[in-house]
Amino acid sequence: MPALRCCRVSFAESTSWCDEEFVMACAPLSSTCSINSTHMGTAHPCNSTREEVQKSCESREFEYVLQMKPVQDTLDNEGMYHGHSMLAPFTSGSQQMETEPLIIAKGEGVYVWDRNGKKYLDALAGLWCASMGFSEKRLMNAAWNQMTQLPFYHSFWNRTSQPPLDLAKELIDIFKPVKMGKVFFCNTGSEANDTQVKLAWYYNNALGREKKKKIISRHSSYHGSTMSAASLSGLTPLHTGFDLPASYVLHTDCAHYWRYHLPNESEEDYSSRLADNLEKLILKEGPDTIAAFIAEPLMGAGGVIPPPATYWDKIQPILKKYDVLLIADEVICAFGRLGTMFACEKYNIKPDLLTIAKQLSSGYMPISAVLLGQHIFDVLAKQSNRLGTFGHGFTYGGHPVACAVALETLRIYKETDILAHVNEVAAIFQTEMRKFASSSIIGEVRGEGLVLGIEFVSNKETKESFPVDWGVGEYFSGQCTALGMLVRFAGNNIMYSPPLIITTDEIKEIVRMSAAALKATEIYVLELQVNAQI
């Protein structure tokens, strides 16, 4: 990028742009903007509209960049939610006290609106889950119809309602990689993964293998935030201050080839090394103490990390060799996110136990599920007289309204051929977004289907990350929000996971706003780098 001269302009003419600040980055250092230009860093009022300024810059072959102020609440009751009564998840205490939350008021398609009427393209589908967007009437009607017939019933003591029975059968029918035998319903992915730990213990106790209790997970993985699920997760913020991880959880390598491969090491060789490390860990701890290995087929919240070539082909034989159960956590991946109904199909994974949630109901109702391989349930059934009652369950597990919505979601996936649509638009999404990898501050753009991650680095050669206090990922996310798009940041990582119904034109919107946010972030980083050298 050529040397930049920047001028800040405030727009006051159009109500929709009032009080928002923009930056024009003018390419040749000797050039100046034709509209009220000033030196970088000082705001200057301007009566021109956004379109007039952009046209002026483009006509003079200037580079046009938007650098937006953070979104501010403009309602009459501004400030009333400072220090609000809700303890917000994954939010610092100081942030909850010092800043207004972004309050989303309504949604339609892939868009949501805040309570001020500002429109956003939700490029994370809420929290990886709103596959059908935010206004699918069939799902609303399914909830209403079930609500008017039977609004609640539990599934304890072999009493239940019709929707969970129908949903369990449908899930077993559509999961093709292995034969599943039973489905256990929960409310969240965290509950489901806690259940997986208990099932692994219960199964081994049924076989008389009472020492086989340890669970192996991976660094940078995410499996939930309850006690066992947070312990399984390989992310430090889930452990700090909570006295976690639990002692029965071990962590092995994060399967991130770009960041961790050795010089001249191929993806296949890297996968072999990780499989060898897993085997060494099992042997060190003792195979008779290892109950299960849990992993996301593609790592999600850890930064959207697809597995390297042959990874799953080499991991699974190790698990079979030492009779270690494989738990596939498809909370994010399942139901078309990667272009297949399940990620296990894409990577030829044959799990003993499967976790699903999120897109099971398009996020319209809280529901998750554990699928047990037939061979797992056969052991539990055979030993039931000795073990007694299966003492595990949740009041709202198999909730009839949630199950009715999930059933309708699965029908929509089938009737609309959602997989064909995902594969069509994902090709454009991945191709266009990967072009950002040429930026001097981006180390890698990665993903599969309609999920993608961007990782910012201060040095592309060494892959050194930006200092945490620079907040580069947060700045990029803030620019996206101000432009009208919601993404997720985690440190120097940005994550996208748009609704599966997204159109080609809407993907172009994501690309356009990402490009504008990136240009603004490049300027922000340049300013920080200059200041760091002074």
Distance CA 219, CA 3 (A): 40
Let me know if residue 73 belongs to a domain: no
Q: Buried b / exposed e across 17-42, counting CB within 10 Å, b at 16+?
A: beebbbbbbbbeeeeebebebeeeee
Residue-level pLDDT at 534: 66
Distance CA 197, CA 311 (A): 23
143 neighbors 366 (Cβ within 8 angstroms) = no
Which range is most confident: 7-11, 56-60, 337-341? 337-341
Which domain does 319 fall in, by range? 137-415
Confidence of residue 90 (pLDDT cuts 50, 70, 90): confident
Residue-level pLDDT at 44: 37
Of 411 and 22, more confident: 411
Task: Give the list of residues 6+ apart from residue 116 with CB closer than 8 angstroms, or none.
Answer: 73, 74, 75
Q: Are residues 101 and 151 in the same domain?
A: no
User: Mean pLDDT in the chain?
Assistant: 88
Q: Are residues 144 and 227 in the same domain?
A: yes
127 neighbors 222 (Cβ within 8 angstroms) = no
Confidence of residue 97 (pLDDT cuts 50, 70, 90): confident
End residue of a domain, out of 357, 381, 415: 415
Q: Are residues 289 and 148 in the same domain?
A: yes
pTM of the model: 0.86
CA-wise closest residue to 473 among 491, 458, 486, 487: 491
End residue of a domain, out of 42, 65, 88: 65
164 neighbors 400 (Cβ within 8 angstroms) = yes
Distance CA 127, CA 74 (A): 26
Q: Are residues 432 and 372 in the same domain?
A: no
Domain total for the chain? 3
Residue 441: burial class (beta carbons within 10 Å; 0-12, 13-18, 19+): buried
Residue-level pLDDT at 13: 31
Q: What are the DSSP calls for 139-181, one per residue?
A: HHHHHHHHHHH-S----GGG---HHHHHHHHHHHHH--SS-EE
Residue 280 has pLDDT above 50, yes or no: yes
432 neighbors 174 (Cβ within 8 angstroms) = no
CA-wise closest residue to 362 among 418, 425, 303, 284: 418
Q: Are residues 155 and 272 in the same domain?
A: yes
End residue of a domain, out of 415, 431, 446: 415
Confidence of residue 349 (pLDDT cuts 50, 70, 90): very high
The domain that holds 181 is classified in CATH as 3.40.640.10
Distance CA 251, CA 179 (A): 28
Residue 429 has pLDDT above 60, yes or no: yes
Confidence of residue 88 (pLDDT cuts 50, 70, 90): confident
Residue 451 has pLDDT above 50, yes or no: yes
Q: Percent of the chain, pLDDT > 90?
A: 79
Q: Percent of the chain, pLDDT > 70?
A: 85
Helix ranges (DSSP H) in 162-255: 162-174, 189-206, 227-232
